[in-house]
Chain A
Amino acid sequence: QKEVEQDPGPLSVPEGAIVSLNCTYSNSAFQYFMWYRQYSRKGPELLMYTYSSGNKEDGRFTAQVDKSSKYISLFIRDSQPSDSATYLCAMSANTGNQFYFGTGTSLTVIP
């Protein structure tokens, strides 16, 4: 079983839609949860960083962590064509430790 599971998609939505991206994990030691956005042929760009359970909001992006269910989500409101990218979830047990990534979900927002 992989440490982190993420549906690869692809996911295609119309502009303005609410997008929900999810990951599940098996290691209960994970405490730090990140979402990265990766455009084609580029390095991952940090979007959201959350410690432990709870919600975090930044503009159109909301990250949720449910440690009891080992489930994390990223919501994108009012999606834009510029949001078209691959979204990677990542998590780690300790600060400075290795990150475990999902396979990424490919998102296309259609104008």
Chain B
Amino acid sequence: ETGVTQSPTHLIKTRGQQVTLRCSSQSGHNTVSWYQQALGQGPQFIFQYYREEENGRGNFPPRFSGLQFPNYSSELNVNALELDDSALYLCASSFIGGGGETQYFGPGTRLLVL
């Protein structure tokens, strides 16, 4: 177990709706990254938050947005859901500043858009 938790575990939404996914990072970590993993594919980087600021973004449209809170937990918000947004959403926590950082993943939230 990594200590990274995500909620909810599963979610069903309809096209056009909005969704918020939550992540609690591992104790001692200050950075949260979000990834989208479509079925049969590797995770794709959405964005990263460090010290409550966006610290890098992948090739995702602005309707994907996020927040990081002072306790380093994070939210991923997706507006105007599309069918292709159906995927496993993974949160990964890490510590920037100590050298040799790597990312530890939570169990993911499985989103189905109908």
Contacts and interface: CB of A to CB of B under 8 A. Distances in A.
Binding partners A and B: yes
Interface of A: 4, 6, 8, 32, 34, 36, 41-46, 49, 51, 88, 90, 95-104
Nearest to B30: A96
Closest 6 CB pairs of A and B: A101-B42, A96-B96, A43-B105, A98-B45, A95-B101, A43-B107
A69 to B, nearest CB: 21
Contacts of A103: 40-42
Contacts, number: 69
Interface in B69-113: 90, 92, 94, 96, 99-108, 110
A98 B105 contact: no
Contacts of B94: 96
Nearest to A48: B102
B56 interface: yes
Given A44-B43, A103-B42, A96 B108 contact: no
B43 A96 contact: no
Contacts of A42: 107-108
Given A8-B40, A41-B110, A96-B101, 16 more contacts: A6-B42, A34-B102, A42-B108, A45-B2, A45-B105, A88-B43, A90-B42, A95-B99, A95-B101, A96-B31, A96-B50, A99-B33, A99-B35, A99-B43, A99-B92, A99-B103
Contact of B42 (A32, A51, A102): A102
A95 B100 contact: yes
Given A43-B90, A44-B90, A49-B102, A88 B42 contact: yes
Nearest to B107: A43
| Among A8, A34, A45, A97, residue most surrounded by chain B Cβ atoms (within 10 Å) | A97
A111 to B, nearest CB: 25
Contacts of B55: 96
Given A44-B105, A101-B42, A103-B42, A51 B100 contact: yes
